[in-house]
Amino acid sequence: MAQRTYGGISADERRAQRRAALLDAALEIIGTDGLAKLTVSGLCAQAGLNERYYYESFDSRDAVLSALVDGIAEELAGAIVTALHAAPDDTRAKAHAAITAGIHLLTDDPRKAKVALVAGMATPELRARTNQTVRVFARLVAAEGIDFYGVADPPDPSIDFRATYLVGGLVQTLTAWLQNDLPLTRDELIEHTTDVFVLLGEDLARRLT
């Protein structure tokens, strides 16, 4: 059966628009007022939607947070990969470009950092999801490193170890910086992070090639 359309927009498209509006509203509420302020009524009021549309897309607050964290992770991965491929074919240039893209995406809009690094640890389920996201980014770092340095298969386990160490350490460092526990400018944070990524990457490449 054909879907009913209004103004040339299908029912599925309208549903997607309402879901996006709810996620935008959640980002604003969490990023501005904190996770405790995220309620169904508050979310719907912020989005300008009837509460029945909330249940059309989500069945719990955790579902909203999971969708929000996943969306930011997708943005982050896209920005990092784009920056990597556009950077000169040089170890430091590529590391600096990828780190700059990631940190800028999370800090140009501080609400995103607050959601990804703070709200993402709010419950055991969200912590598990965040840990899985860290693993995904660690695999991305490992794959890019293997490709860049031409490391032969099968990949050495130390590659996965260092990639996980780097990504996990960056998450903790960025969290501390956002909480004003590290007296660094954003540019200094990027430079120091680049130093560490290059140091561990170059050292491992010498060992394995």
Distance between CA atoms of residues 159 and 151, nearest Å: 10
Distance between CA atoms of residues 196 and 161, nearest Å: 15
DSSP 34-63: -GGG--HHHHHHHHT--HHHHHHH-SSHHH
pTM for this model (two decimals): 0.86
Element (H, E) at 6: strand 5-6
Distance between CA atoms of residues 169 and 87, nearest Å: 23
- 8-12, 75-79, 125-129, 194-198: the lowest-pLDDT one: 8-12
Helix axis angle for 186-208 and 157-178, nearest 10°, is 170
Q: Is residue 88 classed as helix, strand or coil in its secondary structure?
A: coil
Closest CA to 158 of 203, 92, 99, 196: 203
Other CB atoms within a 10 A radius of the CB of residue 148 amount to 16
pLDDT tens for each residue of 114-164: 888 877 777 888 888 888 999 999 999 999 888 888 876 667 889 999 999
% of the chain with per-residue pLDDT over 70: 94
Contacts of 196 (CB under 8 A, 6+ apart): 166, 169
pLDDT at residue 182 greater than cutoff 70: yes
- Between CA 202 and CA 209, with CA 205 as vertex, the angle to 5 degrees is 150
